[in-house]
Amino acid sequence: MEEKRYLKWYNKVGYGSGDIAGNVIYALLSAFVMIYLTDIVGLNSGIVGTLIMVSKIFDGISDVFFGAMIDKTKTKLGKARPWMLYGYFGCAVCLVAIFCIPVDMGQKAQYAWFFIAYILLNAGFYTANNIAYSALTALITKNNSERVQMGSIRFMFAFGTSMLIQAVTVGFVAKLGGGAAAWRMVAIIYAIIGVISNTLSVLSVKELSDEELAEGKTEEEKEEKYNLIDAFKILVHNKYFLMICGTYLLMQLYSATLGMGIYFMKYVLGDEGLFGTFSWAVNIPMIVGLLVTPLLVAKFRGMYKLNIIGYIIGTAGRLGVIAAGYMGNIPLMLAFTAIAALGMSPLQGDMNALIATTSEYTRLTTGKKVDGTMYSCTSFGTKVGGGIGTAIAGWMLAASGYIKNAPVQPESCVNMLHVMYLWLPMIFNLLITFVLIKLNVEKANKELQKEAK
């Protein structure tokens, strides 16, 4: 019997477009906040990195809090949509505030301004909005096929938005005259775009009632309730869960060091506008890879071999970037960057499925279902990893003797930029490859299922 369908095509597209709003913020901050704070405001990159790392710890903890709050919410809009709708207005205000730091203010006050605005944005409004947005997948349809389609559409909007923000922002700021006023105007325009896309996404879908969501479920299918400590104790005995957390940490370290590419383009290659070109070389192959990942998973009869082969290609691609970088051959750097991104894309596409498979391993070995806590903990690992990565990048930049807006940076800084942008991403990819070789949870589940039979 065919599963009941709940959504029209415009509901799916409307839902997916919500990731325009999220990635307007994410792409702008991850790629440009550091260079804005160092080169425009004049703050120390090491201190900024430390503040971002501290804020990410609060950010990760708030995931669990807002998840619980959404579960308890009951309004005419539903459980998740109010948090998604109203949370984004706070996101917009905080985003603009970050890019409105007065340049003539005392430095201590500037650090405090940034930290307060950044932590309110990430640990507060953005987390509330994003957790609610993700929760909608399970609240607006019970059809698994529709959920997969929603996820695919969402990722298309996410990578597309990130690509455009990274590609056009440097030129946009220059066209507006550069300086603090230009960055402020760009932030305001992006915030308005985010508010519009987020609101349209909220209004394009409708949550199902609690009765309809529970319809057809047996008592066995209802998830058991555990407090966070009990669930965490269960998870730490799952070696595959720990490997996934390690993989997430390394992936975020990779992203943070790669995000420092704008410094490499500006001070090594001599053209910060190239950052946009390199973002195309990363994101277009990534989108192509995401499109074909479901077919490749079927062809390889699982995720294990596909992910390993993909990351071997990704590591080889980054080795090629290192060689081309020292040669100063930009076209070759772009080509190898694209190869690396294409190789890394399968893991990006099947990571949620890998987490679900790892959660099944916990159920098979302990008889307990802790899916929600597993996703919250991996999200916590992602955010903390991103914070640590940004902090390390900031510390390295500060230790290198970086001089803001200097026509020529000290040799120590140039060498450090080579390490940060060329060597570290390759090393992180290599480490992920080693973890993936051990992460054969699909095989472990099959063996446990055979034993159970």
Per residue in 70-91, pLDDT (tens digit) is: 878 888 888 889 999 999 999 9
Q: State residue 217's pLDDT score.
A: 55
Provide the 3-class DSSP secondary structure of residue 99: coil
Q: State residue 387's pLDDT score.
A: 82
Question: What distances in angstroms separate CA 227 from CA 34, 68, 358, one per listed residue?
Answer: 38, 11, 20
Q: State residue 267's pLDDT score.
A: 94
Q: State residue 228's pLDDT score.
A: 62
Q: Euclidean distance between the first and final Cα of the chain, in Å?
A: 27
Residue 330: partners with Cβ closer than 8 Å, 6 or more residues away: 269, 274, 324
pTM of the complete model: 0.83
Question: What distances in angstroms separate CA 100 from CA 90, 96, 166, one per listed residue?
Answer: 15, 6, 20
C-alpha to C-alpha distance for 150 and 135, rounded to whole angstroms: 12
Q: State residue 372's pLDDT score.
A: 59
C-alpha to C-alpha distance for 128 and 370, rounded to whole angstroms: 21
C-alpha to C-alpha distance for 30 and 312, rounded to whole angstroms: 26
Tens of each residue's pLDDT in the chain, 453 residues: 566 777 888 898 899 899 999 999 989 998 899 999 999 999 999 999 999 999 888 887 787 788 778 878 888 888 889 999 999 999 999 999 999 999 889 999 999 999 999 999 998 999 899 888 887 877 888 776 677 677 778 878 988 898 899 999 999 999 999 899 999 999 999 999 999 999 999 999 998 887 776 666 555 545 555 666 777 778 788 899 899 989 988 998 998 898 889 999 999 999 988 998 998 999 899 889 888 887 888 898 888 999 999 999 999 999 999 999 999 999 999 999 999 999 999 898 787 778 778 878 888 888 876 665 666 666 666 777 778 888 898 999 999 999 988 989 999 999 999 999 999 999 999 999 999 999 999 999 999 888 877
C-alpha Rg value of the chain to the nearest Å = 22
Q: Are 263 and 155 in contact (CB under 8 A)?
A: no
Torsion sign, CA atoms 145, 146, 151, 157:
positive
Nearest to 119 by CA among 83, 89, 85, 90: 90
- Cα-flanking dihedrals φ and ψ of residue 6, to 5°? -115, -20
Q: State residue 124's pLDDT score.
A: 92
Task: Please give the angle made by the CA atoms of 97, 283 and 202, to the nearest 5 degrees.
Answer: 55
- Residue 354 structure tokens: 């890998």
